[in-house]
Chains A and B, each alone.
Chain A
Amino acid sequence: MSEVQNYSPSVKDAAPSEDTVWEQKVHFIDSVPRWLAMTFVFVVFVGTWQIVTSLRLVSPIILPTPMETLKDMIFVGQNLLTGGYMLGALWITIKEVIYGFALAIAIGFSLGVLVGETAFGEKAVMPYLVSIDTMPKVAFAPLFVAWLGFGIESKVALAAFIATFPIVVGTAAGLHAADENARMLFKTMGASRMQTLIKMKLPTGLPQIFTGLKIGAVGVMAGAITGEFLGGGKGFGELIRVAASQLNTPRVFSLILYLSLVGLAVFATVVWTQRKLVFWHKEQVGGDDF
């Protein structure tokens, strides 16, 4: 058993004894626990916000006080908890995000495999994907509305459209991640192309695929809300647009904050899945600590 690496990133070095003349010094700012550091940044942020609004450095119409925002958050929270009209709007946006992300994963993954696995895909499809990716994708929103109407479909399409490209790139990059030895090994084992793809290339490429999924998870929310801004509908984006048009900035702030929770939940789901599936990757086992 002596050869097992008894390594754990959580194990700290023992305290040096009295005759140790050289010891590792950690600056106190780096030794602050995460919760304290996060609280500190939050307090500084809200404090600065409060000072700026109290001193009237910015008009209250443009920037509400933290307290006003908090009050509105409580109001919106009550509305959501009691099943008010905002809950229906939030549910519509959540559906747009989920359907959009699912569609982006299906299309992005398929195109990523086509581009990453076949010479035809790399030669014939990739140049078009790169050209489309360089276009301002939000500008397609009016087209999606014209094609799919003012309902949820046009928002789902825009959300999926924005989130697809990082997933394509992540999947294609992931399929190229396996090293020469692994490829040769599978060849010598007599593995078919499908076996090589499923048993070696895809698992090896999971870290890159998840990087694409994480970027896509952020983009899908932006796509859904932009779709609502530009194409109407009954989601949270529409509530924000209406509140903004009424100069109700505390409402805009509180709606954005609730929306960020949805975005965070989608992102956290991706990260959680990554931790379960890619437990072996060094990023997941604390390798980045060094």
Chain B
Amino acid sequence: MNAVVTHEFSGAPLGTPVYELTHVSKTYARNLVVALEDINLTLRKGSFTSVIGSSGCGKSTLLKIMAGLIPPTKGRVILQGQPVTGTRRDIGMMFQQATLFPWKTAVENIVLPIEIRDGKAAAKQAMAKAHELLDIVGLQGFENVYPNELSGGMAQRASICRMLITEPAVLLMDEPFSALDELSRDMMNMELQRICREQDATAFLVTHSIQEAVILSDEIVVLKPRPGRIAEIVEVDLPRPRTLDMMTTPKFGAIVDYIRSLLDKGEEM
């Protein structure tokens, strides 16, 4: 069993548990690779948690297990009091690519989860809400535009709307802005923060970027590789709302350095 150290830069007030992972492990049967070992993690209502680690440390595997896309080999995943035994409708997901379907307009892409869940009539009724979401992410006027006419950042904003349209209890994001340039990425991170606060969303982000993790998160789960284990859960106590200016403060720099040292240590192991 790995000792999980929680390093607090200060105690942030957190809500009731939403996600609970207990002793979660994953071994891929084909080549007996242990991707994750004994992961214990609790996400609280309204919190923003990031998971960071080097390539191949099991970040995406962890996200897929939480989303109910693949089963763990051992352990339990509980979401809102119910065990996760497959995909769930109270989970919203976002990937590295916007994955908008090019034959549908922006607004049709956004209401797609409703169309799949409740049919075309319900999707039509959800159009008004989709318009509101487009307003929130600054895409008003682009409702009937096809994805190939949107920039990478705009497409990701539309995919945020699609994730939010069903009002999921948790948002799971797999490096959603890593394909964007740095300026767009910073801007999108601020938007994501604002949306999460407005919707009181519980968010879980997989990222490679320490800065991104620190500016967004209440907690950062640092994974060490081979097999993927939690090295430490770092609580981030920068005041909210976070601003890009904070990235130049000594406190931000100290947290980034601390996490980098943890990642370096993990690599040496």
Contacts and interface: CB of A to CB of B under 8 A. Distances in A.
B141 A190 contact: no
- Interface size band for B: 20 to 34
A73 B117 CA distance: 60
A279 B64 CA distance: 33
Contacts, number: 68
Contact of B154 (A3, A181, A185): A3
Contacts of B150: 3-5
Given A4-B145, A189-B112, A191-B116, A184 B101 contact: no
B113 interface: yes
B95 A185 contact: yes
Contacts of B145: 4
Contact of A182 (B89, B96, B99): B99
A195 B142 CA distance: 27
B151 A5 contact: yes
A277 B189 CA distance: 36
A7 to B, nearest CB: 8
Contact of B95 (A184, A190, A281, A285): A184
A6 B102 CA distance: 17
A1 interface: yes
A290 interface: no
A189 B113 contact: yes
Given A181-B97, A186-B116, A280 B67 contact: no
Contact of B93 (A5, A179, A184, A200): A184
B87 A188 contact: yes
Interface string B68-110: 1100000000000000000111011101110101110000000
A190 B102 contact: no
A187 B95 CA distance: 13
Given A186-B116, A190-B117, A199-B115, 8 more contacts: A3-B150, A3-B151, A187-B69, A188-B68, A188-B69, A190-B89, A195-B116, A278-B103
